Structure formats: C-alpha cells, structure tokens
Amino acid sequence: MMGTLDTETVKRRLRFDFVRVKNEPGSRAVDGTTSLMAHFHRPQMNINDVLQEASDIIQRQFKLKWVMIGIKGKADGLFRYTVMTGMNKDIWERQRKRVYRLEDFDATSHTYKFGEISDLTRVYLQEENMLYSEEEKKLVQRPALLYSKRMSSSETLEADFIDTLMYGPGRALLGWIEYSGTVANEFPQPVVIRQIEGYASILAAAVGIHLRS
C-alpha cells in the first residue's frame, strides 16, 4: 500500500518550484513590472524616476546596448528624449536636444522609413535610413561601423533601432521606448519585444498621469 505524503513535503516542493522559477530569465519581467508599479502607490509620482528605472530595467534585463525613452511635453506637446541607459554621454547630450512632432510618428510620414513588427513596435534599419552628414554620424555610438554590411537577418548594424510606442486613451501617442539590438549584435527575440510592449503600457499610464497633473 502506498504511503501518503506528509503536508510538509508538499509545501517544500511548492516552495522549491517557486524559487526555481522566480530565478529564471522569463520571470524577471514580473520583478520589473512590480518595481515600476510601486511608483503608482507613492503620494507623488516623479515621472523622470519612473522612466529612468524602466530604461535601466529594460537595458539590463534584455542585455541591450542602449535604451532611450521619450515622452510628450506637457507645455508644448512636442516629443523629446527624456532618459537613457547605456549611451555615451556626449551622444546623449546631442540626442536629448532633438525634437519630434506627432506627425513624425505617423505611418505615412516620410521622415524615417520603418517596418512594422506589431501594432506598437517598429524597426528602423540602417540601410533605409542612411546617416550622411557628419552631424548625423555623431548620433551613433560607433560611427566607424556605419559602413558594415549585414550578413544575416538576425544581425544588427550600428544605426539599427527599434521603437515601441506608448499610447493613451483613443490611441493618443504619449511617448516611445527606443532601443538597440543586444550586446551580441542581434535583434531582440520576439518574446523580449512583447515584454517591452508590456513595460510600454505601464509607462503610458504613468505619462498620462504626469500630463494631467
């Protein structure tokens, strides 16, 4: 006759399985989400703190070379980069001065050419958005690599980047998360892009509160 398991064995197994899963890469997005959501419980939410933490989490968690996050300006309605992680300081100083209008993000805009990955995410490829002037070349980390050729569909080039948009009610654009490929010079995996879209939804809520305050 089979003996019955004691309750302590059952509880230990459940605890062990939980700890094992918690430390797996796929569970880290939950930790990032929990950390960002904590900002909503504070008496006053500092939007720069939320955005900077999100930028740091995304860059570290998914091993990206760099991340920038931009939002809509409360005073003029224009869009500017607000925080970054992993970018050289001199390049960041140039990037943060750039200003975009809502029309620049429109699918019919000819400012930049992109391919749609999903309803929220777009990829901008170096070959389709060449940097010709010396000033433009100063916007990337390693200008000397702008002449590299792509050898596989998973390989990223120096000026490749991805945008994940942040929408509010009525699909009002509130900002975007811009990020490079991985430190291994590869595009992020689809599941990573999906998780970044999840972060974008949290940030959209935070930016919405910021703009209404």
Tell me how many degrees the CA angle 99-65-184 measures, rounded to the nearest 5.
Answer: 145
Domain span at residue 35 reads 28-212
Residue 3 lies in a domain: no
The average pLDDT across 198-207 equals 98
Percent of the chain with pLDDT over 70: 95
Question: Does residue 10 sit within a domain?
Answer: no
Domain count along the chain: 1
- 18 is a domain residue: no
pLDDT tens digits, 38-85: 999 999 999 999 999 999 999 999 999 999 999 999 999 999 999 999
Q: What CATH number did the domain enclosing 75 receive?
A: 3.30.450.40
pLDDT value of position 69: 98
Whether residue 87 lies inside any domain: the answer is: yes
Per-residue pLDDT of 120-171, as tens digits, reads 999 999 898 877 566 677 677 787 777 788 899 999 998 899 999 999 999 9
- The answer to whether position 102 is within a domain reads yes
Res 1: pLDDT: 46
- What letter represents residue 154's amino acid? S
The predicted structure's pLDDT at residue 133: 60
Residues in the chain: 213
Tell whether the model's pLDDT for residue 90 goes beyond 80: yes
Residue 147 burial (10 A CB sphere; 0-12, 13-18, 19+): exposed
pLDDT of residue 201 exceeding 70, the answer is yes
Averaging pLDDT over each range in 104-118, 135-149, 191-205, which range is the top one?
A: 191-205
Q: Is residue 23 part of a domain?
A: no
Residue 144: inside a domain: yes
Share of the chain above pLDDT 90, in %: 69
**Does 11 map to a domain?**
no
